[in-house]
Structure 1
Amino acid sequence: MEVYALVGPSGTGKSHRAVMLAGYLGCEVIIDDGLIIKGDRIIAGVSAKKQPTRIGAIKTALFIDAEHRRVAGEAIAMQAPEKILILGTSRGMTERIAAGLNLPNIKEYIHIDQIASAKEIRKARVMRTQHSKHVIPAPIIEVKKSFPESIIDPLQVFMRRKGLRGRRSWTEQSVVRPTFTLYGKFTISQGALGSIASYAATAIPGVVGVKHAHIIREGQGVTIELFVVANLNFKLDELSREVQRVVKQQLENMTGLTVKYINVTVADIQVGELG
């Protein structure tokens, strides 16, 4: 199985061009926003665009829920496609999706600006930011199953399949307005991310407290600098690695963000028994 990734910031037209790119590459399956799509059918998954909050949408797109991940993985295994296309806002996001669904390493990354002009990307951004319109690369009859009470507009896309000279066709996509856009903007502050990281760290036996948590945001990814107070009865190297593991897991599960690095500094130690 070969896995490809289409990468680009949110609202730049990835879903709109996914079917065309999949046809060109020969990918039978597209993974987009929590859905597993084969041809003109949604064969498994839950749409992130149906979630009531942006955090819920991110978690769904990353297949964080165990049952969602299991069903999606089984559907892919049953289809046994030779090629798959994953859509994501970053390399890290597509790699997390591939790893979560037990897919092979990504063979090639295609950035949105390789297949769309600057003018097309600007137009897509206007549709997203001003009109909150999102594309699902599946026909209305399929999308209606997930959005039965929503207004869904058809979008015709012209595609050509690689290796089939003269084989050209029109395919239908759907334009929807996700539930979470009805509530306006939602952001997570640096302070909130620091609080989550600190709380997760102090729950670990051997960590007495966190003196400071510094968060660096880079798009959908974060780098964390933690300065902890540790109990001397614990091995500091093992304790630091456990802090990295737990904080990464908790922060990614709660926010859907990708944790790139966690640097742990033991800023102070406490001598004696805990408690």
Structure 2
Amino acid sequence: MEVIAFIGPSGSGKSHRAQAVAYDYQAEAIIDDGLLIKGSRILAGVSAKEQPTRVGAIKTALFTDPQHAAEVKAQIAALAPSRLLLISTSREMACRIAKQLDLPLPSLFIDITEVATPQEIARAKQIRKQLGKHVIPVPTVEVKSRFKGNFIEPLKTFLRRRSAPLGRPKSLWIEQTLVRPTFNLLGHFYISEKVIEQLATYLVRDGVISHPKVEVEDTSGGLSLNIEVMARYGIPWRPHLQAAQARVKEGVENLTGLTVKAVNIIVRQVFF
């Protein structure tokens, strides 16, 4: 099986163009926001857009729940597609989803800028920001029985593409559904860098590592955590530092739903 990743920032129009990209690259199924989609049908999964909070939506999109992941993995195995399109906000998240579903890592990454103009991307972001509308790339009849939000609207789009493979049409009629997730109705929330620093400070410490000083960098691919520590003299540090890296990454991601790109630990002092 070959996996192709379709990536771009949240709200840039990936789901809106998913079916067209799948058609162009002959992908038989799509993984999008927690769902396994084939053609106009949802085969398995739970939509991230059903979740009451943004953190819950991120966890659903990442298939962190074992039962959710197992259902989708079973359907993928039964379908046995030769090529699958995986939609994500970044390369790192695409690889993480592939690992969660026991899929091969993506062999090709397609950026939203390759299939949409800057004006189209800006318009999609404006609709997301001002109206809180999200697209599920299947007809409304497939969504109504699953979606718990209070806004569902059919969307039939005549999609003109910037380019198309030889022998394929430049435009396609695509049936989709506009929804407004519950978390869009509840307003916004933010997780400050101070909270990330406090979590990392708590998680990194053990009997060998102490007195951490944490710096958080928010990059397009996720968070980078730079941690300066003191380490106890006389004990091999490497296994403790590696365990601390894994502990911090897993803990911060599970508690906040944010992607941790790197955990860099620097030993600045020794204590006896």
TM-score (norm 1): 0.91
CA distance in 1, matches of 2:207, 2:141: 53
Contact 2:12 2:112 in 1 (8 A): yes
CA distance in 1, matches of 2:48, 2:168: 36
Q: Which sections of structure 1, spanning at least 5 residues, go unmatched?
A: none
Contact 1:26 1:162 in 2 (8 A): no
Percent identity over paired residues: 44
Partner of 2:217, secondary structure, is strand
Change beyond 3 A, Cα 1:100–1:130: same
Partner of 1:170: 173
What one-letter code is carried by the residue in structure 1 that aligns with 2:155?
L
Comparing 226-235 and 73-82, the one that deviates more:
226-235
Change beyond 3 A, Cα 1:30–1:163: farther
Q: Structure 2 matches for 1:229-268, cutoff 5 A?
A: 229-232=230-233, 234-268=235-269
Q: Structure 2 matches for 1:39-188, cutoff 5 A?
A: 39-148=39-148, 150-158=150-158, 170-188=173-191
Contact 1:201 1:210 in 2 (8 A): no
CA distance in 2, matches of 1:149, 1:58: 17
Contact 2:50 2:148 in 1 (8 A): no
Residue 233 of structure 1 and its aligned partner are, at CA, apart by 5.1
Change beyond 3 A, Cα 1:165–1:230: closer
Cα deviation code 1:164-215 (max 9, x no counterpart): 767x86331100001111121222111111111111112x4433x3331111
Task: Tell me how large the CA RMSD over aligned residues is.
Answer: 2.2
CA distance in 1, matches of 2:199, 2:187: 24
Aligned length: 269
Residue 270 of structure 1 and its aligned partner are, at CA, apart by 3.5
Cα deviation code 1:136-186 (max 9, x no counterpart): 0111111112225633111113479978767x8633110000111112122
Q: 1:206 aligned to 208, 212, 215, which one? A: 208
Partner of 2:224: 223
Cα deviation code 1:52-97 (max 9, x no counterpart): 1111111111111111111111111111011111111111111111
Partner of 2:107, secondary structure, is strand
Change beyond 3 A, Cα 1:118–1:269: same
Contact 1:224 1:263 in 2 (8 A): yes
Contact 2:208 2:240 in 1 (8 A): yes
Contact 2:20 2:172 in 1 (8 A): no
What one-letter code is carried by the residue in structure 2 that aligns with 1:196?
L
TM-score (norm 2): 0.92
What one-letter code is carried by the residue in structure 1 that aligns with 2:218?
R
Q: State yes or no: 1:190 paired with 2:215.
A: no
Q: Which sections of structure 2, spanning at least 5 residues, go unmatched?
A: none
Partner of 1:130, secondary structure, is helix
